[in-house]
Amino acid sequence: MTLNTNAAPPTSRRRPHGHMWLVGLLGVAAGLVLLVYVPTLSLVGRSILLFAGFHVVGAIVLASSLWASALRPLARRWMGAEGRAARADRFDFGWGPGWMNGLAIAGLVGLAAATTLIVTAPTLWPLSFLLVALSVVFAVGNLIMRGFRRVDQAVLPMTDLLSGDHDLILDAGCGAGRTTVALGRIMKAGRVIGLDRFDADYIDDGGRALFDHNLKIAGLTGRAEAVAGDLTAMPFPDGHFDASASTHVYDHLGSGKAAALAETLRVLKPGGRFLMGVWVPGWSMFAVGSVFSLFLTSKAAWRGMAKSAGFAIVEEDTMNGAWFLLIEKPASSASAGAGDEVDRRLQTR
């Protein structure tokens, strides 16, 4: 099998945050039904309305962000060389203003609503209190989201990936190259391949042009390369990579998670390691995604999927606000149960 670096990415556009609309509109409908038909539960109805209202506001903010993102390339073209030169020395991971500020705006709207409520209807203070609590949660979520802009990611767990000075590492779902740049920081003379469909509508240009831009600033041009393709059908031969890393991608894959893990195993050399950073249910994720965070895949489910794919679990912890699982392809297919062996070694440490 040859490396197909020119494969066109699938044309479908992913809209992973459409659920904001769904919960917002369903919640508004449920709240209204309760208020009209079950007046005795009016407090519950109003609470649902307020909670759903936040999601509608969030959805509007995110939709505006997408719209603004679509205008950004045009604005840059109008600005010409001057506009591009202004950011030529800065990393840009392509996150639109809505992603960076949406939760903060929702928090401010919540605080304004809480103040209005307590002044105009003091008896509804529990609702006002709920709004303030939600606003605080949104503010925390916003701080977490803003961390995505940072390039100075903690990279220590990535050093556990390396097996030599000349490793070839896969950044699975590289986007605009945030993790590729981090990998570049730990490698002496190795190379990184960034694989992505480059069609995410929440990253400017899907990230392809920004990937090259960021590599140039990081001084990695020539040592890293972008490949367009899908994680569930990777355009690489078996055993191609010494190791792989991925941040905030496999949790976006829906029903494709198991297929992507199987593909990752396939393209790794025996003994190769995969560092997978994902969001899992927990308090910090509740701040970012409220009730939706409860539907994220749990740590136990990830461990189970990794083992079912044939990986051995080496380590797990948190890194850059995400939970990570460091897993390893057994040294040979004959060593069935090698996963259990690594697990046992871990438990006796």
Residues near ligand SAM, by CB under 6 A = 93, 173-175, 178-179, 196-197, 199-200, 203, 207, 230-232, 247-249, 252-253, 256
Q: Name the residue among 208, 212, 183 with its Cα closest to residue 197.
A: 208
130/253 with CB nearer ligand SAM: 253
Nearest residue (CB) to ligand SAM, 210 versus 327:
210
Q: Report in angstroms how near the CB of residue 107 gets to ligand SAM at its nearest.
A: 22
Give the whole-angstrom CA distance, residue 124 versus residue 188: 62
d(CA 216, CA 294): 39
Cβ at position 308, least distance to ligand SAM in Å:
19
* Residue 249 near residue 177 (C-beta atoms within 8 A): no
Distances from the Cα of 47 to the Cα of 24, 117, 124, 299, angstroms: 13, 13, 11, 31
Give the shortest CB-174-to-ligand SAM separation in angstroms. 6
Q: Return the residue nearest ligand SAM (CB atom).
A: 175
* Identity of the residue, 150 or 345, whose beta carbon is nearer to ligand SAM in the bound complex: 150
Q: How far is the CB of 55 from ligand SAM (least distance, A)?
A: 20
Q: What angle do CA 301, 307, 312 make, to 5 degrees?
A: 125
Look up residue 10 and give its two tokens.
Answer: 């699938």
DSSP secondary structure string, 120-162?
Answer: H-GGGHHHHHHHHHHHHHHHHHHHHHHGGG-S----GGGGGG-
Q: Would you say 169 or 249 has its CB closer to ligand SAM?
A: 249
CB of 199 to ligand SAM, least distance (A): 6
Residue 197 Cβ vs ligand SAM, minimum distance, rounded to whole Å: 4
Residue number with CB closer to ligand SAM (234 or 306): 234
Q: Residue 185 or 252: which CB sits closer to ligand SAM?
A: 252
Among residues 138, 147, 172, which one has the least CA distance to residue 61? 138
- 279 within 8 A of 323, measured Cβ to Cβ: yes
Nearest to 317 by CA among 271, 280, 272, 263: 280
